[in-house]
Amino acid sequence: MKVFVINLEKYVARKNHALAQCQNIGLSAEIFNAIDGRSLSPQQIADKTHPELSAGLTESEIGCALSHLGVYQRIIKDNIDVALILEDDVQFDHYSSNVISYLKEHIPQQPTVYLLSEVRKYMRGGKNIPHSEHELVSVSQAALAHAYIINLAAAKKMHAFMHPVWLEADRWTFLIECGVVNIKAVIPAVGHLSKLSHESTIWHCEAELERKKIVREQRRIAVSKIRKNRAMNIKLKNALWRIFIRPFFEVKQS
């Protein structure tokens, strides 16, 4: 299985951390040079994003999304059947190796993503992963994109759906709602965030923190527009799911 670590070239300590994490569980990883959205010109950002639906995304979030899309493009170009995509603040535990080994051998042909990170909500009644205390469950709500397995079919679907950039790289819940890919997660998680994640590379300075509230309001308005523009059959499907399925099968992750 191909392993990609997304890393901004200037963050050497984060790169070394992620490579060590992979080495500790027997994985050989390739560094994928991330795109620093803060270094892009206004014209470059305009060329790479949706003119309306990307409103409220920061330059760093755009760079993050472009970096993940770049990995998908590489998977498609090289015809890679299955890949593990990591960000450089990932932290594995001692269960990770066995779980990842199992998942890479049991990913279906249809577009599928396996989240190794914690998720917000998932469905009861998952599939037990052999020789572990973990389950593979269907996801209802999730964010975070620092550790996930993706197959070639999913990379194709997600690249087509998310390019040019109009969604955050980890907008998993919306991808689920739109039925773009099948998203499952490992419970309990085996791909955690390290202490390095506390040093945000998105809200990285006081000036950006000050504009966070304004930007998030812009994003809320854009996401509302995105949801409003969904096809009627998708809206109906999600309404029926919320009414008849979620109250009985959904649980929050502890």
Which residues, in sequence order, are CB contacts of 44 under 8 Å at separation 6+? none
Q: Where are the domains of the chain?
A: 2-252
The answer, as to whether pTM is greater than 0.85, is yes
pLDDT at residue number 254: 47
User: What CATH code would you report for 2-252?
Assistant: 3.90.550
pLDDT at residue number 209: 65
pLDDT at residue number 38: 92
Rounded to whole angstroms, the Cα distance separating 116 from 200 reads: 20
pLDDT at residue number 200: 59
Q: Residues of the chain whose pLDDT is less than 70? A: 200-209, 249-250, 252-254
